[in-house]
Amino acid sequence: MGIIFIVVALFLSTRVDFINGNMTHTALLPEYHYIMIVYIATLALYYLYRLHNHDHILQGLLYSCAFCLFVGILIPYTDNLFYEHAHIFFTSLGSLFAIGIVIRMIDRQSLTNYHKAMVERGYLTFVIALLSAIFFFCGQFNGLFEVTGLSAFVLFVEYDMKKPRN
């Protein structure tokens, strides 16, 4: 299922300039506005359903992430300064909660298999370094940055869900 979310994210991100545009630009296009809302809602609801029986900290991070993404996608990014800042605040906060989800999964893995958790932490460090390099070299949050971050989140969560539970 994760690959489907990544392919749809790539498709939606390429509806505008892939380097300078992002998913917000796609959501502002009238023909893709509702598709973006359905996509974000489906993504959030799918992971709420799949991770609902995990520990309380992970559930809290997940509910907070889903709430922030819902609010962020519903608030339009317009010339109104309040809406613009609210949109950026909620989507950025949702991204931070997504990073918290991945970190919590790695920490939980470290309790049962420390070596595997360190390998996963190395992958996470690589993704963060890659996103930082894209940000510093491109000078802005852009479509490539968003798709890389979303793909990393989806792949980490899908990998964690496939592991057997003790």
Count of domains for the chain: 1
For position 44, what pLDDT does the model report?
85
Tens-digit pLDDT profile for residues 32-75? 889 988 998 898 888 888 877 777 888 888 889 889 888 888 88
CA distance 77 to 135: 21
**What is the span of the domain harbouring residue 91?**
2-162
Report the percentage of the chain scoring pLDDT > 70.
Answer: 87
CA distance 36 to 22: 12
CA distance 133 to 67: 29
- State yes or no: pLDDT of 140 exceeds 70: no
Tens-digit pLDDT profile for residues 15-32? 887 666 778 788 888 898
